Copies of this chain bind each other. A is one copy, B any other.
Amino acid sequence: MAQHLYLYENISESLRCHIRQGNYRSGERLPSVRSLSRLFKVSVNTITQCFRQLEADGYIEVRPRSGVFVADTLPRQAPPAPIAHFPLLPVEVSLSEDILHFMEPHARPELVHLGIALPSPGLIAVDRALKTMREVTRTHSLEAWDYTHPHGHDRFTHQLSRRSIHYPVPINQGELLVTNGCMEGIELALRALTEPGDTVAVETPTYYGTLLALGVMRRRALEIPTHYRDGVCLYSLEQAFKRGQVKACLLSTNAQNPLGFTMSSERKRKLVDLAVRYDVPIIENDIWGDTVYAGEALPAKAYDETGMVIYCNSFSKTLMPGLRLGWVAPGRYHHRIRELKQISSITTASVPQLMMARLMENGFYAQHIQQLRSQLANQATHMAERVRACFPVNTRVDIPTGGCALWIGLPRGGDSRVLFEKALEAGIHVFPGSVFSAGSRHTSYLRLNAGNPCDDQLDSAIDRLGALAASL
């Protein structure tokens, strides 16, 4: 049995084996948390964690006051692959041409678009947003016309700072800088913190745009093993920090793309502690944070007492990608990032800021993301079920905690780059897992966009993908 990094995972896998082998059959009660904790010689908490995982995976049902029972129908999917162990070696990133190749079909309107992860405009009140844009150009024509302050428009940044009302460490309005989307913030942060040749720790798998940026900027990537539910492995991260080889860390803690996990508050806190202890700043890409299905998720930045976290976000995934409006809370790196911003785009456009200020002031945005969350959750659930039903046995797919990326593990030996080509011939654009790694990992994974409303066209596309996967 593969060795896992986390104790509870080893126990979960052991219990899963017992269930699969029929030692515990559907409907049978498992031993209690206390008795298992005695048996495995671990804490009650660890067993509870196992139960949470097995429940989420569909192996057990927790019936309050009755106990824990084996599920009536066992999942058809494979158990999660163990978190990979590999030597922590920084690598040059040269994905550029690869990514352009895999992105290119996005421009072809005749395809079913399951490639780029983005909520479809059908889920967004596009007309309402654009109507507000029209309103502000009428009511604030001079402000719309003029440059705004390099820090951003006061009304907009005021609303942004209010978002941190429930953070243990609130974000001060004066810390904020407004950017052209989330990626500008990330790029400014990378430039402020690192030089060409420096090493940046990233998750694996991670958003390909991160890897593209590192490649173009000639930074090296150190890929840290990342758990499909717990997030970046803090143990591995600490090892890398200890060796002093990491200049900065670039990751997501909420609804991570492509894995879909949201880190626990405890692990977010620990992450920030590590950054402080080893003096390695964290660039936090929270672009999917507002889509966490369960509602308001704090970022690691919420625990950042010493300004070691550069927080980056935008409205591209939740409201309007063509707006190009994002923001950064750069902590102690404010001065340098402000300088770099000011000599590039100088200030960010005025109209989008006025528009978003109004949509936040009148409560529209808060209401909108609530709806969006439940729609995305429904779509991701529906698609995951369809994939489980149509893809070969031992395909693995989890329901993400937010966002609209479905990360699908093909059965052993399946190469998603082959599936990419076959799917394209069949009129479907998907993303192979390899673009989410600088080091040619994840070739047996596939990412599907769950941003499209469920309809027959989508179902039939998944059916065809399933058949193609079976033919690999």
Q: Which residues of A contact B (CB under 8 A)?
A: 96, 107, 121, 124, 126-127, 129-130, 133-134, 137-138, 141-149, 179-181, 183-184, 187-188, 209, 212-213, 216-217, 316, 320-325, 339-340, 342-352
Contacts and interface: CB of A to CB of B under 8 A. Distances in A.
Contact of A212 (B141, B147, B343): B343
A349 B345 CA distance: 12
13 contacts: A130-B145, A145-B320, A145-B322, A147-B321, A184-B344, A209-B343, A216-B340, A322-B350, A322-B351, A323-B349, A344-B344, A345-B345, A351-B351
Contacts of A348: 180, 324
A259 B180 CA distance: 32
Secondary structure at chain A's binding surface: helix, strand, loop or mixed?
helix
Nearest to A323: B349
A295 B311 CA distance: 47
Nearest to A335: B96
Contacts of A184: 344-345
Contacts of A212: 342-343
B145 A107 contact: no
Given A180-B180, A351-B351, A121 B134 contact: no
Contacts of A323: 349, 351
A204 B363 CA distance: 51
A343 B217 contact: yes
Contacts of A146: 121, 321-322
Nearest to A212: B343
A209 B216 CA distance: 25
A43 to B, nearest CB: 44
Nearest to A217: B343
A181 B209 CA distance: 23
Nearest to A133: B137
A390 to B, nearest CB: 29
Contacts of A138: 130, 134
A324 B343 contact: no
Given A345-B181, A345-B184, A141 B145 contact: no
A212 B344 CA distance: 10
Contact of A181 (B130, B143, B316, B346): B346
Nearest to A316: B147
Contacts of A187: 343-344
Contacts of A179: 345
A137 B145 contact: no
Contact of A133 (B127, B129, B320, B351): B351
With most chain B CB atoms within 10 A of its CB, the pick from A142, A145, A179, A322 is A322
A124 B343 CA distance: 26
A180 B349 contact: yes
A344 B343 CA distance: 14
Given A322-B144, A324-B349, A344 B183 contact: yes
Nearest to A345: B180
B96 A339 contact: yes
Q: Which of A130, A143, A344, A347 has the most CB of B within 10 A?
A: A344
A347 B181 CA distance: 9
